[in-house]
Amino acid sequence: MNTTPLPPLHRKGDVVWEMARTGDMKVPGRIYADSQMIDDLHEDQSLMQVHNVACLPGIVRYSMAMPDIHFGYGFPIGGVAAFRMDSGVVSPGGVGYDINCGVRLLGTSLTADDITGRVKGIVDQFFRDVPAGVGSAGAIAKLSRAEVGSILVKGAAWAVEHGYGRPADLAHTEAEGCLSGADPELISDRAFRRGLDQVGTLGSGNHFLELQVVEKIFAPEAATAFGLRQGQITLMVHCGSRGFGYQVCDDYLEVMEQAAHRYEITIPDRQLACAPLSSSEGKAYLSAMACAANYAWTNRQILTHLVERALMKTLSVSRDSLDLQLVYDVAHNIAKIERHEVDGETLTLCVHRKGATRAFGPDQSEVPADYRSVGQPVLIPGDMGTASYVCVGTQTAMEETFGSTCHGAGRVLSRAQALKRAKGRSIDRELKQHGIVARAQSRKTLAEEMPEAYKDVDSVVDVMHRAGVSLRVARLRPLGVVKG
């Protein structure tokens, strides 16, 4: 880690702070946070990571951090950076190990009254039908290498073709559930082996399946466009590319360390190993990353099918009566080639979002047609015991953050710290006292992911709302949660 003294932060707006460009920085740093968050940030190294990212070749405008910022691998979690295609780089540390970890929101025809007294039964059925936990195997048959290869190219469309969902789901998925340019030939045998039986699994850590109720509507027009109404039952699925994506990242970190040396790229932290976007190594990583992103979208699409089936079974309702609809699916860890305006010039850029999510505003062609008049749905999960939010992207986001915003609450306690804090406590009993049914493969997971391990999601969302980057649409209160 770079030990250079940090430049001072200067307040540039209500919730906007700037780190002056000094030394090897190519651009300033920009942090979205309130005063308390800024004070708390001095306790870890995430601000130094903002500084370090600003030193990478070809970065434009700012090295940015959202209010859920905390220390990560290479980039801070909550980090956003965009690079020129001709002179910039791509860095696996700017995407993360869980490539396309993301979240999808499902709406139903149900109301809170429809499931009174039935929440435990629903959560128990989810726990039986949705594979969760470290090393869990999928609910579908173990796939062949050729079938996994098809998933890597087709993404969520593969799942729909095999009966897991509807074609309409693809229109409500970022990038329609598939990044182009994926090349299975660039994937290692070990990654393939890890991916053979994990499609349709929730995983562990902060991944979850949550039963929720729409508690409050802030923006009726956007809520109506998204099909949300007060008192409605919704479901949120938070997971990623599992062991497959982890292995892809691990494989290419080694490639990138060699590439950085080969191309004589000076980096302040070896975790920022990178390669020019124009190089063979850079192109290979983007293709392999696309494979992992497509695997993750397929995974979430199949999980949606499992959730629908479990609800129909528990409530004895038909598919038509349940009317499960995909509101939206967004990625949290990804690098994407996008067009953005910078200083009056429209540029093609590689936008890294690491623990950050897209927040495209109205009239953008990438936003689903039925949402285009209001903007893209932005899904910001809390964690078990805390609210989640639906927000909407804005033109301000397009102008200031490359159409990006926060992705969640952000950790304030490491897993080890959370375990220590939870010693002698029963987290599931505490959640039950707040009206939340929790099921997990281990008590350790519940302790590691207890609500106080995270920042206050209300405050995080409020920062981006005040900045005009992503505006509040609806607040979702948890009723039950399944953890790995």
Active site residues: 407
What SS3 state is found at 436?
coil
Q: Are strands 325-331 and 102-111 parallel, antiparallel or unpaired?
A: antiparallel
Phi, psi of 338 (to 5 degrees): -140, 160
What SS3 state is found at 454?
strand
What SS3 state is found at 411?
strand
CB 335 within 8 A of CB 81: no
Place of tokens 């929790």: 438
Helix (H) or strand (E) holding 291: helix 280-315
Place of tokens 């209160």: 477
**DSSP, residue by residue, 188-239:** -HHHHHHHTT-TT---STT-EEEEEEEEEES-HHHHHHHT--TTEEEEEEEE
CB 89 within 8 A of CB 252: no
Beta strand spans in 266-364 (E): 275-276, 325-331, 333-342, 345-354, 356-358
Sign of the Cα pseudo-torsion (91, 96, 100, 102, in order) = negative
What SS3 state is found at 328?
strand
Amino acid in position 312: M
Tokens of 403: 């159409």
What is the Cα–Cα distance from 204 to 206, expressed in whole angstroms?
Answer: 6
User: What are the helix (H) ranges across 26-161?
Assistant: 35-41, 46-53, 119-129, 145-154, 156-161
Amino acid in position 156: A
